[in-house]
Amino acid sequence: MLTDKRLIRYILKKGSNQAADELIRRYYDDLYFYLYRQVGNGDDALDLTQEVFIAALKGLSSYDDRKSSFRTWIFRIGTYKVIDARRKVKITWLELKDVEWIEEKDFDESLYQKELLGTINQFVASFHPEIQEIFRLRVYGELSFPEIATLLTQKEERIKAQYYRLIKKIREEFCEHD
């Protein structure tokens, strides 16, 4: 199996579609699920996944494997695509006939979880984009603090401090006080 570095070299030097396909195939599922956990909609996650890979392939010459892994780099692109998508959100209305009904208790629990996740995402979106990026890379991308620090070229301690300050604010905002 070829390394990411070698595949990228083939893409840049020879314009290899086969190498591009292999690179995309290698990270497609991880990226899709990373984006899906943030947007909560399969179609939107598919669109964003495609946008990320298009942007990554167009900007491949700017990728530096000394700064981050390719996976981490595309997750960062994905984070920005999610932030951009949230800025463009329009409300769409569904007709009741288009909705598939489920059991009431399952629906209530599912609705509560989705509402809470949506509310937390809106809350996080009110912070500086750098803090949003740290949160998304850690929570949705499941990256370690050292990986995030390397990607953002910041000290790990600073990344942790920003992340935990945001988590504290989320808890203050959303956890019930006794």
pLDDT in tens, 106-123: 555 665 666 777 788 888
Q: With contact defined as beta carbons under 8 Å apart, do 81 and 60 qualify?
A: no
CA pair distance 133, 97, nearest whole angstrom: 38
Return the pLDDT at 108. 57
- pLDDT at residue 100 is higher than 80: no
pLDDT-above-70 percentage for the chain: 84
Tally DSSP H helices, then E strands, for the chain: 8, 0
Domain ranges within the chain, ordered by starting residue: 4-174
Average pLDDT, the chain: 83
25 phi-psi bin (left φ>0, alpha ψ -120 to 50, beta other): alpha
Pick the most confident of 98-102, 113-117, 145-149.
Answer: 145-149
Nearest to 145 by CA among 72, 51, 53: 72
CA pair distance 143, 149, nearest whole angstrom: 10
pLDDT-above-90 percentage for the chain: 40
